[in-house]
Structures are given as C-alpha cells and as structure tokens.
Amino acid sequence: MKTILIFLLLLFTFPMLAQEQVEGQLLFQENNETYPLEGVNIYWLNSSKGTVSDQDGKFSLAREISTNQLVFKYLGFRTDTLTVDSDKKIIHFMKEATGESLDEVELTQRRKAIQKSYFEAQNLIQVNSAELLKAACCNLSESFETNPSIDVNFSDALTGTKQIRMLGLSSPYLLITEENIPSVRGASQIYGLTYTPGTWIESIQITKGAGSVTNGFESIAGQINTELQKPFSDAPLFVNLFSSINGRQEANLHWNTEVSDKWSTGLYVHGNQRTLSTDRNKDGFLDLPLTRQVNLFNRWQYTNATKGWVSFASFRFLDDQKQTGSIDFDQKTDRGLTKEWGSQIDTKRFDASLKIGYVFPLLTYQSFGFQAAFNSHDQNAYYGLRQYDIKHDSFFGNLLFNSILGNTKNKFKTGINIAWDRYEEVVDGGLYQRTDQVVGAFFEYTYDSLEKWNIVAGIRIDRHNNLGTFLTPRFHARYTPWERSALRFSFGQGRKAANIFAENQTLFATNRTIQVQSNEGSIYGLRPEKAWNYGLSFRQGYTLFNKQGDLTLDYYRTQFQDQVVVDWETARYIRFYNLEGKSYANSFQLEVDYAPFKHTSFRFAYKNYQVKTDYLDGLKQKPLQPEHRFFANGEYNNVTPEGNGWRADLTYHFVGEQRLPSNPRDGVNSNSNAYGLWNAQITRVFSPRFEVYLGSENLTNEKQLNPVINVDQPFGRDFDASLVYAPVFGSMVYAGLRFNLN
Amino acid sequence: MKKIIVFLFAIAPFLLMAQKKDLQKTIFEVDGVCGMCKARIEKTAFGIKGVKTATWDIPSHQFQVLYDANKVSIEDIHASIANAGHDTPLATAPDEVYENLPMCCLYERKKKVE
C-alpha cells in the first residue's frame, strides 16, 4: 500500500501540462468487428496543426482558436469533416471509400484473424476475436484448436480437460498471463485455462521462445497473454447460448455501462453445466465428467485521456465442480468406499486486481504502469480413495516505467516486481506447505533501426527464498533481409519451482505409488527447474497468382540444465527426481498460409517434435508426445460490411504415433496409433447484432476404445485413467447463438 | 521497500531531465513518395540532436516531430530534411541532392528553384 502511495505522490507532484485538448478514437467496422484505425491524419481545417491516430485509433489534439472543423483523412476511406464544439470525447467511425481508384483496394482487404508480425523482434502471434469465434466453445483451453503454434492434448480419461503444449512443452513451462498478470500457475495449472470463458476474451498474444523479462522469470518455452473485454469498448449487452449433444450447456451475459464520462463498468456472467451421463464405450465409466461452473466477473474502467490516466479494477469469483468415474457412483453414499470408483473436484477461486497506467502528456512514449493482483484458490478433490486438496494464495505486484534514451529508436522498460505464494496441499493424507517469496528488478532495452533491425535485450535479477538469487537474460532480434520477410533469433533463460502434484494432477486418476526421490532440494526435496531456450524463425510473404500468402519456418530448442523428471516408465509407480543427464525439446514448424480466392483462406502446418529426457532407464521421447503433427484449416467468410452472410470453417489435425509407457493394456515398448481429427463449424450472420452457429468436433468419430486401464478393478494397483492419447467421446455436435446490442 | 526507494531514485533523473526540456510537437508536410522516402526522412530526423520522435506518413505526406526546442530549432529540422532531398514548407532541397534520389523517390516539385 505504501508503495502505491509513494508512486501516486510522485506522479502528482509532476507538473501536468494543462491545455485544452480534443480527444477521440477512430474506428472502422467490418464484418461485425470493430477495428481501430491507426495512422489517420487528423487536422484542423485550413491549418497546419494536426496529429495522427495511434495504434488504438486514439488521438488527442490541442484546440485551435481559428476553427472548429476537424478533418479525418485516411487513404481508402472517405475524408470526413466534423464540427467540434463540446468537450465530449469523439468516437468516429470511418467509412470505406467507394468507387475510387483501383490501387486503393489493397488497403481495404480483410484484416486477418491471426496476425503474425513482420516488424516485432519477438515471434509474436496475435489472435483476435474473429479467430476466437472459429472455435465456438467455450473457454480459453479450447481457443487454440485453430492455431498451429499451440497443440491441444487430452490429459486424462476422467476430466477430459484439454492441455496445451507449445514447442513440445506443457503449460507449466509457459507463462500464461491475463492482461500481463501471471494467471494460470500454481494450483490452477491444470484446470486454470477452463476458468476463462471464451466470450470474455478480447484477444490473445502468443510469444514463442524466451519472451520478455518484464513479467517474471518463469517462462521457458513462451508466453500466452489474454486480453479480456473492456467495459469501454465491449457491447453494452451481449448474450451467448450454447448447447451440445453431449449434454453441455453454456450461457454468457455481458453487460457494460458508462457510469460517468470517465468511469465505465462491466458485469460478465458465465455459467456452464453438463448433467447428462454418457458411456458410449460401455466401460462403466463416464465418457465425460458431470460439471457445473459459475463464473462472475466485474470490472471498473477509468479513462481520462486528457490527463493520460487509465485504470482497471477487477473482481472475479469462480465456483467449479466436476464429478466423474463410474456411472453408478453416487457421491453422497459411495465416497471413501470401494463399491464404485468416483471422483469429485470442487474449486472455489477469488481474484482481485488493480491496474493503473499513466501516459505523460505530449510524451506518448513515456509511461508508468502499476499492477497488483491477489488470488485465492481452494480445491478439494478425491479420486477413488485418493485425496488431493490444494489451497494457494498469491499476491503479485509490478511497477513499470517506459521511456526513451535520446529518441524513440532507443526505448527501455524498467521496473520491479514482487510475488508471494502460499501453498498448502494434502496429498493422500500427507501435508505439504510452502511459501515462495520473490523480489525482482528488470531492465529491457529496445532498439529499432527504423528499417532492417530490431533488438530487444532484457535482464532481470530476482531474489527468491527457495530458488536463491539469480540473473535471467533474454534477447530477441529481427532482421529483414529483403521485402516482406523477417528473420528472427532469440535466446533466453527461465526457471521455475515445479509444483509436482498440481502440475501432474492426472496421476491421482491412477493407483500408482508416488515416489519423490528427494535430494535435499528446496521444493518437495527437489531442486528447481532451469532451462535455456534458443529459437530461429524465418517468415516470407509471397504473391502467387495475384493472391497473398506467407510461409513461416520455426526452429526452437529448449535445453534443461535442471528439471524435475516425471517418470511414468515403471508400471504401478510414478517417480519424481531431478534430471541426471540430458533433457531437451526440439521443435520444428513449417507453416504456409494462402488466400487463393475471394473470401477463402487456407493454413497448413507441419510440426516435428523431439522431446527427449534421460529417464532412469535411458534417453526416451516423452510419453504421449507425438513426433509428427499436421494441421490444415480452411476458412470461408462472405459476411458483408453491413453484417450479413456466412462464415464456415474446416480444420484437420493429424496426430502421429505417441510413445506409451509400458502398461498392462498396451504392453512393453508400444506406440499409439496415428489418427486424424476433423472439426467443422458454420455460422449464419443475420445482422451485426445476431448470429447462429452449428458445428461438430471430431466428425469422423475417432476415439480410443479402452481409455481406462484395468477398468474392472478400479481399486487394484494397475488401474490407470491417465494414458489417453485420443478422444474418448467420439464425435460431438453443437449449436449456439450470439446476440449483442451495439 | 528498500528496493522500491532505490528504483525511484534510479528513475528520478529521467523525470527531472524531462522538466528541463522545452518539448514541442509539430506537423508539417514533407514531399516524398514511397517507403524509401519514409526511411530517409525519418532517419534524417532521428539523426538531429534533440529530436525525440519522428514519423512521416506515406499517403498524406504529413511529417510529425517531437523535439526539444532548447536543443534544436524547427528551422534546422526543416533544413536537415531538405538537405536529404525532400522539400518542406520552409526549406527546399538542393537540386543535385534531389536529382540523385532513387527513381521511385522523385516526387513532383511544387516550387521550382531558380
């Protein structure tokens, strides 16, 4: 609190340049989407005083005495002149120019749903809301189905929760942030992605490789940041309903309102449930869990563009329940007995965060940012006779200052962060408690040559009670050898404390004996994990038969210096021990994007993963990690600017053979079969306000026949529901609608 | 707490420096054509001591600059850009510089220098 006060005092003492300003935002609407327009020329009529809109379409301009006629000019759009009398903020929608010269057509091309940058030093993939609509359902964990950079895996046969991987490494090795505040971590590592409903997401930014130093030292393979809807820009009222034939129903309601000219608030309500018991494979176990989730989110936004302040205060409450296991299991009478095998996972979570940003008047490159977040996570769970409870409270604080060295070719970010985490776990009756405390400082320098080069070099120093004091360097460079290309190089280090039980929660869906081979380390008797990541990426835009496309080649290597190895290799045991020898993840990706016809675009990707670790019995590919993956997506979209038309989408995933640890079902040295999955969705857009969609996941009904090992004796030592490599349920059909009041 | 104080001390010079400056933002038209012009104009501007940030917009030819008026005058900025080959409302590029620009950059000159 004292920190905040000092920070605020410091800012208020700084002289503010008071001048009467006209502010506003320039937007452009296409296909029911609103985009900001960057680079619009804004000037007072018959004067030389003017400005250009920034990347959010925003501008601020000193009032002119001679005129009140403000001109907006942008190539490919109609030039508009507005009379500006009041001090009210201007929000102006620009209209595309019609019937003008042909060479302007290129500018009005549809904005791509996934945008990969040519200019950033980092390998950044921007996913906007149009792409998120392709996967109709339903939460953050399911938002990556149409994105080849992220792989979606099935984690276990019981909860059916989808796990994501990037560069061949699972989500604990990624830094997952929500508006730049670390979110899916610790206790929420496995199920956390399902706690963010899809409609709350405004956009997602994926950074492959080391990433920035500003949000901590934990990222190893990459970073995923989610921007949520903002009360100021989201629709005043939005309704989404979804239902699928496997008995899942979802409802979303957004309500946003302006409280005053500076304050707006939004209330977001999400509920989902699955009440239908299904057992299509007749193994006596539910194919999908019975679930119920209530998720409430309230946020307040303060915007004072004249003074340069923006602030958010957010509160969120989640109650999530999952029940799975035998279809005859009754949680009221059968818990703790060996009559029927059942499992229940109840989670309650509360999050609160405060963000304050200040941009210096005139000096748009200089700003302060302050973030503070508190989370409390409380999970109570049992799996048959096993118990796993975790309580995790955490606090995160970040203070950031952005400015330049001399001129805007040389920018820097510097600041400090603090984090505090308190864990309390009950594992099969044993109690584990731990507190992590860390204070860190960082400095990141960005050089932009304005032409061919960009460099981002960052370093941070952290003092952690369990990891010690250490430096984390990270470096990214981009070079453009010729037109429409980008060559990128990066390296960086990351570290983390392995929360072995929370990260491997699927182990409780087995009767394996847990062995932690302690070596006097600070976390569960194990040393923390430490790795270097190196990456090389090349992107080239091309024009074929007069149509645009691009090609991307990525090669990344993550090399562990220290790792907590999760060893499933011996039947009836799961072992955790520190790495002795080598462990690495090499990933290669070739991606081709092409838009051959009007309204139609295609994306193809091939991925190769060599993820190998020295287990007690030698160097082996990580289990359940396919070496080969292939991805294809075709999209058709003829929705007119007036908001009428069709959107259709077809996605294919090929998943290669996966190594299986030896077990009674598959035997020794076995591999899973390769398989392919088809997903399709079709949306009818009636107006910018209303659309309906129909889709299917897994059209060809691909499934794993006996997902649960030793299903007849669920209390026997060989019972194992964790070795799942394909869908359990088979094909699924869903339908939904979206309505918004704009 | 100690670290926070250290941090505030560390950034204080930047804030103090900012106060001594006489920062001005101006927009004027600079003649040019293409992306190469943009790179040349912006590089020239960034090469001037006291220029904090500069952008030239290709379609509208509007040049936006933020500079420290204690270090450089607006006339000097106009002159430097003109010396790189691009006419501005206050300065005209020398003919030999203009003629040596790449083909694609040869904008139509408004004022003929005698």
Single residue among A106, A130, A165 that ends a domain in this structure: A106
Angle value at C-alpha A546, between A540 and A547, nearest 5 degrees: 55
Range of the domain at B43: 22-105
Query: How far, in Å, CA of A722 to CA of A252, rounded?
Result: 32
Which of A41, A49, A408 comes nearest B57 by C-beta? Answer: A41
Domain boundary among A46, A79, A106: A106
Q: Which of A502, A445, A449 is closest to A478 using CA atoms?
A: A449
A700: pLDDT strictly greater than 80: yes
CATH number for position A573 = 2.40.170.20
Assign A33 a pLDDT band (cuts: 50, 70, 90).
low
Confidence check: pLDDT of A111 > 60: no
Question: Distance (Å) from the C-alpha of residue A708 to the closest C-alpha of chain B?
Answer: 53
| Residue keyed to tokens 């645009």 | A548
CA of A2: which chain B residue's CA is closest? Answer: B1
**∠ CA A103-A106-A108 to the nearest 5 degrees?**
115
> In chain A, how many domains are there?
2
In a domain, A160, yes or no: no
The confidence score (pLDDT) of residue A279 equals: 85
Inter-chain touch A450–B27, beta carbons under 8 Å: no
**Is A232 found in the same domain as A102?**
no
Span A153-158, average pLDDT: 72
> Which chain A residues touch B44 with a CB distance below 8 Å?
none
Whether residue A55 is contained in a domain is answered as yes
Contacts of B7 in chain A (CB under 8 A): 399, 414-416, 441
State the average pLDDT over residues A17-33: 66
A125 domain residue, yes or no: no
Q: What is the mean pLDDT of chain A?
A: 85
Is residue A644 pLDDT above 60, yes or no? yes
pLDDT over 70 for what percent of chain A?
Answer: 91
Residues A528 and A666 in one domain: yes
Label residues A681-711 b or e (16+ Cβ within 10 Å = b).
bebbbeebbebebebbbbbeebbbeebbbbb
What DSSP element (H or E) covers A12? helix A2-13
Of A106, A122, A153, the domain-final residue? A106
Is A245 inside any structural domain? yes
CATH of the domain at A97: 2.60.40.1120
Give the residue-averaged pLDDT of A27-31: 70
pLDDT at A240 over 60: yes
Q: Check which CATH number belongs to the domain holding B34 and give it.
A: 3.30.70.100
Distance CA A622, CA A168 (A): 9
Pick from A14, A15, A51: CB nearest B27: A51
Most A-contacting residue of B17, B44, B52 (CB-CB within 10 A), to test interface? B52
Q: Which residue of A has its CA nearest to B15?
A: A14
Rounded CA-CA distance A655/A676 in Å is 6
Q: State whether residue B4 sits within 8 Å of chain A by CB.
A: yes
Tracing tokens 């608030």 back to the chain, one arrives at: A265
Total domains in the fold of chain B = 1
For residue A117, what pLDDT is reported? 62
Q: Mean pLDDT lowest for which of A135-149, A302-316, A412-426, A644-658? A: A135-149
Whether residues B4 and A362 touch (CB distance < 8 A) is answered with no
Average pLDDT estimate for A193-201: 90
Question: Residue B86: is its pLDDT beyond 60?
Answer: yes
Tell whether B40 is covered by a domain. yes
Q: Is the dihedral of CA A572, A574, A580, A583 positive or negative?
A: positive
ipTM: 0.72
Q: What is the model's pTM?
A: 0.80
Phi first, then psi: what are they for A158, rounded to 5°? -95, -60
**Spatial separation of the C-alpha atoms in residues A499 and A494, rounded to whole Å:** 16
Assess if residue B61 is contained within a domain.
Answer: yes
Identify all chain A residues contacting B25, using CB atoms and an 8 Å cutoff: 51, 362
The yes-or-no verdict on residue A134 having pLDDT over 80 is no
Q: Which of B15, B46, B64 sits opposite A52 (nearest CB)?
A: B64
B53–A365 C-beta distance less than 8 A? yes
Q: Is position B54 within any domain?
A: yes
Average pLDDT rounded to a whole number, residues A494-523: 90
Higher pLDDT, A625 or A157: A625
Query: Most A CBs within 10 Å: which of B9, B30, B49, B62, as the mutation test of the A interface?
Result: B62
Taking residues A726-737, report their average pLDDT. 86
Nearest residue of chain A to residue B52 (CA atoms): A407
- Residues A84 and A233 both lie in one domain: no
Q: Give every strand in the sheet of A123-127, ordered side by side.
A: A114-116, A123-127, A201-208, A222-228, A174-178, A181-182
Residue of B nearest to A399 (CA): B4
- Range of A74-78, A151-155, A270-274 with top mean pLDDT: A270-274
Which residues on B lie below 8 Å from A366 (Cβ)?
18
Phi and psi at B11, nearest 5°, equal: -90, -15
> Shortest Cα distance from A345 to chain B (angstroms)?
40
Question: Which among A37, A437, A450 is the top mutation candidate for probing chain B, defined by the most B β-carbons within 10 Å of its own β-carbon?
Answer: A450
Please judge whether B23 and A362 are an interchain contact, meaning their C-beta atoms are less than 8 angstroms apart.
yes
Identify all chain B residues contacting A415, using CB atoms and an 8 Å cutoff.
Answer: 7
Instruction: Note whether residue B86 is domain-resident.
Output: yes
| Contact across the interface for A39 and B57, Cβ inside 8 Å | yes
A443 and A572 together in one domain? yes
Range of the domain at A61: 2-106
Point out the residue among A50, A73, A416 whose CB comes nearest to the CB of B4: A416
Q: What is the mean pLDDT of residues A343-355?
A: 94
